[in-house]
Amino acid sequence: MNRELLQALSNAFGPSGYEEEVLRSAEPFLNGLSYENDAMNNLYIRLPGEKRDGRPVLLLDAHLDECGMMVQSIADDGSLRIILLGGMHPTSLPAHSVRIRNRKGEYVRGIIAAEPVHFMTEEERKHTNVAVETLKLDVGAVSREEVIEFFGIHEGDPIVPDVSFDYDEKHGLCFGKAFDNRVGCAAIIEIMQRLKEDGDAGNLAVIPTAALAAQEEVGERGATVTAQRVKPDLAIVFEGSPSDDFYFGVQQAQCRMGEGTQIRIMDKSYISNPAFISVAEQIAAKYHIRYQEAVRRGGGTNASVISLTNHAVPVLVLGVPSRYVHSHYNFCKAADVDATIELAYRLVRELGSDEVKHILRKDILGGRA
């Protein structure tokens, strides 16, 4: 795992629709690769000299954006109301600090106010319900005018959690924000760099192309665009998947931190291609790569829209187990990031024409015109 890469991406300011800083943070790590962005902040990464020569195109996908907030209104007393960009739960927000980016590009620190216990009634102390509509964001101002004129904040300004990345080398433990899905972005960049260094991309059975998509947290919008542009034949989607090891027993948990990459069989948005899973698990066994399977009742990824592109795209979803995604603070293990990178890299290297044909299900029928 490239610690510097993950740190740069995790620290970057990038809620849905405002991913520009994530693009700039990624750029120093794209040396030697071909890359460009579009008007939506989607980032396309290709191997140098890539040519569409009839081989199937394999899309490597991850989303750039993070769950965040936006200033919805500014009250006369200088407090701000917010709306959510993505699926953060209101109970995880009070008493945490955030960064607001104003229209000058300046960052202002704020605190999502938690009502002091001193001002609560006895009943409120026992039963406190949290709704986004009732939360107040405090930047230290005393009036609406001060918020606008002194802090430069207006309605519509974006907000993210105020968290800095840290790495515990002794325990191989990453701490930071936005591991959903900056870990996936970091994994893809590392894989593309390894493929570039191999220098034999023209001999692969597939053409690997990466697209880091914007606005996943508000409805897979970026991947809807990238899939149309790349036109993949098959795809690997990378995710920072919610670790469930604190919520289920060992036998029931399917995304345990430290147990390797998660191969997602199903979630609310997509049923994975069983042939693709079979090939991936054979390669994992060959190279002793740790993995765990998951069948999820809820959740969703960019696989939902990528799979519906053109003539149908088989997608393999790989997840890095990450604790407390969609909240301020996350943990993940470097070993799980490495397992995810290694499995996807080996897949790209070792997919042959027969495996691709099997994954595309072209061996089911003999075919008759």
pLDDT tens digits for 129-146? Answer: 789 999 999 999 999 999
C-beta of residue 182 within 8 angstroms of C-beta of residue 66: yes
CA 120 to centroid of chain Cα atoms:
38
**Residue 118: pLDDT over 70:** no
In 17-96, the DSSP E strands lie at: 34-37, 43-46, 57-63, 68-74, 80-85
The predicted pLDDT at position 117 comes to: 67
Confidence of residue 361 (pLDDT cuts 50, 70, 90): confident
* Residues 93, 354: Cα–Cα separation, whole Å: 50
Q: Tell me the sheet residues that pair with 242.
A: 322
* Residues 138, 113: Cα–Cα separation, whole Å: 6
| Mean pLDDT score, 325-350 | 98
The predicted pLDDT at position 136 comes to: 96
C-beta of residue 212 within 8 angstroms of C-beta of residue 227: no
| Interval 46-104: pLDDT, tens | 999 998 899 999 999 999 999 999 999 999 999 999 999 999 999 999 999 999 999 99
146, containing H or E segment: helix 144-149
Q: Tell me the sheet residues that pair with 337.
A: none
The predicted pLDDT at position 73 comes to: 98
Buried b (16+ CB within 10 A) or exposed e, 262-280: bbbbebebbebbebbbebb
**Residue 214: pLDDT over 90:** yes
Amino acid at 113: A
CA nearest neighbour of 326 among 87, 52, 79 = 87
In the chain, the percentage of residues whose pLDDT exceeds 90 is 88
C-beta of residue 162 within 8 angstroms of C-beta of residue 109: yes
Confidence of residue 16 (pLDDT cuts 50, 70, 90): very high
Cis, peptide link before residue 181, omega less than 30° from 0: yes
The predicted pLDDT at position 151 comes to: 98
Alpha helices in 201-273 (DSSP H): 221-230
The predicted pLDDT at position 203 comes to: 94
| Interval 286-324: pLDDT, tens | 999 999 999 999 999 999 999 999 989 999 999 999 999
The predicted pLDDT at position 368 comes to: 59
> What's the chain's average pLDDT?
95
**Residue 369: pLDDT over 60:** no
| Interval 193-213: pLDDT, tens | 999 999 999 999 999 999 999
3-state secondary structure of 46: strand
**Residue 367: pLDDT over 70:** no
* Residues 361, 369: Cα–Cα separation, whole Å: 17
C-beta of residue 217 within 8 angstroms of C-beta of residue 87: yes
Please give the domain boundaries of the chain with CATH numbers for all domains.
Answer: 3-66+177-359 (3.40.630.10), 68-161 (2.40.30.40)
